[in-house]
Chain A
Amino acid sequence: MIQICEMTVEGLPSVEEIRSPGPEVCAVDQMRQVLDQARRALCGRGTLCRDGITQLWRIVDDIARGRGRTGDIALMQDLASVMAVAGDCPLCLTCAQLLQASVECHSEVWNGHIDRRRCEVLACRGCYTLHVDPAKCAGCTTCAASCPVGCIAGGQGLIHVIDNEACTRCGACVSACPQQAIGKAGAVKPRGPEEPVPVGSFGGGTVRRRRRGRGE
């Protein structure tokens, strides 16, 4: 490390916490949060720190959004190794080490995200869809009003339907719904109407369906 700055960040996970993140924590999502925190904290004077952390964050964010590319892991490892040797500050070094530990210990998780857009715990935006449970929806329109991109169809007394092509997975509707009717789904999608239908007019149950690509 060729230190030019003292920057450290409180509250970043330890290498141990990266190696065993515990249940319900996705390694990719964890790393994304680490890097986002770091990029918001860094002072900006050194290239490897400023642009290195930003670059790692861009790549991990892409992976979490289902836009990972073959070769991303190798690129990140390469970048991290340079940052570890010539980085500017403790923060930069820490990010490099945490990233290296994460991709070493959780290579299946990382590759699953990149190759199959698969996030076991449904933490990464690119790996799940959001659905209104037709059995719980009260047709109150709260979710539609809360959606910043306006991708929820419905109306008073109708079962609401989310357009997952347009949805950004911001989660606003999930917390807005008074019935807790909105939930995530991975490869297994719940059954629901294609279009809004009156509340009570749709039968329950789930159906196995092939996920549609979003073509990005």
Chain B
Amino acid sequence: MSRCLKGVLVAAALLPAACSSGGDSGIPEINFYNSPQQNIKAIAERCTKLADGRYKIVVNILPRDADGQREQLVRRLAAADPGLDVLALDVTWTAELAEAGWIREWTGENAKKAIEGTLKMPLDTALWQGKLYAAPYTTNVQLLWYRSDLVPNPPATWQGIMAEAARLAKAGKPHYGEVTGAQYEGLVVWFNSMVMSAGGQILQEGGTKVALGPPALEALKVMRAYATSKAADPSLSNTHEDEARLAVEAGRAAFQVNWPYVYASMASNKPDMLPNFKWAPYPGVTGPGRSPLGGANFAVSRYSEHPELAYDAALCLRDAESQKTAAIKDGLPPTLEAVYADPAMAEPYPMRQAILDALKTAAPRPKTPTYQNVSTMISAILSPPAAIQPASTLVQLRQQISDALQSKGVLP
């Protein structure tokens, strides 16, 4: 027992020291939580230098997977941890954290700076109920990547990919078209783009009611047909972004829908395949497709002890110079339109016009504070894609998304 008591006392004695922000030098520390990004330290150091002694940015690295990142952030925020200042949020978390009162609204001069020159689609992901809760940092859209040595003309629709795959299979050539079909956010991303490409939405405007309807039925039919076609990789139900990328690099697949990072990866892993590695707009269901929209925004924690400094740091971390570093060195597409025009972007981003075009019609995921529940439900119901029964799956989706929106019911 004495050992236990001692442990408690020791922990109690250590806690204040471990939790206080502010270094030995007396310069306030701004704790910045970001997903793993190779050159983020360099970006933060530049901003610390520009702050000229007003603050010092400390970079904290979150886990690699989005669920792990969200988990760590919300656990700390739920405990009112003052050791968080600037938070890098996935575009789908804005509503949840804003509604819970964990992130601060951006107003006045700070908001003006965050909005100025920012592309419309990414900016929209930082809004909740018409208020700005974060400053867009990076964005992302998926494109169709294909091997021009196997496929001379890129298909414009999923049906087109299936037809090409059947042709290639008959000729005994690599024919898989990779898509993120595992039971995780990637499956939701796919479904959302399919529904929006078919002219519908998962949720109605306002995000409190289910929309779905005939476009969703159409989307489910195409997904099922795709999952049971020659285009489907046998491990479709276990494919994440990286497995899709590797299947093309390994020569097993002819296509993939994926984020632009696959281009840089191909350039370094398989430079001999790069000349035939081409991109095209995201495939559609009937008309043109609408790309999934990704990216990250910077928010300021409610529990930050230096909010004004945190806003300032966040603005520097996402200014044109920082975004250029992130784009060129880490392959993350900028949210400031002007950065795309920078001459230094031409070589690493030959597909930059395709990205800008896709950003005009991209398919953002539904906005709701219960996005996590909605997403978990959708991926559980749609997995594995080959088992989708369009009509009955739609009924199930409608029912369980509706429960999830009210944070009713149980998550699988």
Q: Are chains A and B native binding partners rather than an unrelated pairing? A: no
**Which residues of B are at the interface with A, using a C-beta cutoff of 8 A?**
none
**Which residues of A are at the interface with B, using a C-beta cutoff of 8 A?**
none
